[in-house]
Chain A
């Protein structure tokens, strides 16, 4: 599903964000990527979504070599990924419902099916009652849940989240993680980057530790 093989990423100016990182994520797997700020977690996720390209090594996502993908093929790769960011990247000029409808606008679903999917996604994250609200009216936790609803509305096979619980209180963070785990239980591979080790330790799952762009180790949180 996701396979990194000796992947390095060097940015213009010489900063090396990732150094020879090798790991893989299989179907229906939940993987936390941890490390301090600047360890390379976000860069790793961006490589999966083809937001960045590897400087060396290979990144395979659903069998596609991200480094060799043509520009016009990238949107189709991203349609099979659900992306959730720390800053949510919501659009504040439209309603909660319209934010979730956005990925469905370029899918081939008939309007009625698209509306049904959008409401189902909002229902799963507990925001159906707020569908007419503007995202600015939502709390931080609700905005993050809205970002998750938008990420899953096209039923992606892989869900990627970059610091999804940052700036949230413990209850909201737990609720967000429960949502990710619920999607993982129904077969979605989930890759979550977080610096919050206390959060990770609550789930007995695989953890990839990064420091200064290098893999420090891999193990199971306890």
Chain B
């Protein structure tokens, strides 16, 4: 299909979204990511039964923490699609890209950059 989507998204492959931990999400922000979204299989279609539900809970947990520390909970999101839905993958990529552009860069990057200068 070769559908194009923004190059600003870095894909981290995991065997199942159930592998994604709240710490992985937080570390991504700590290292300067402007947003993180987790794309799992459709709910009810998890090969490991509960992996994508677990991921959703962890995304919610990360959202709460990011909100509490002033980074912004909207920077993290969970999406679900089936593996053959490339157009939808691109749609979600665009949606997330748009959302993050509206929110602006990760606020911790600015103090970090100032310190380095």
Q: Do A and B come from one complex?
A: no
Report which B residues bind A (CB closer than 8 A): none
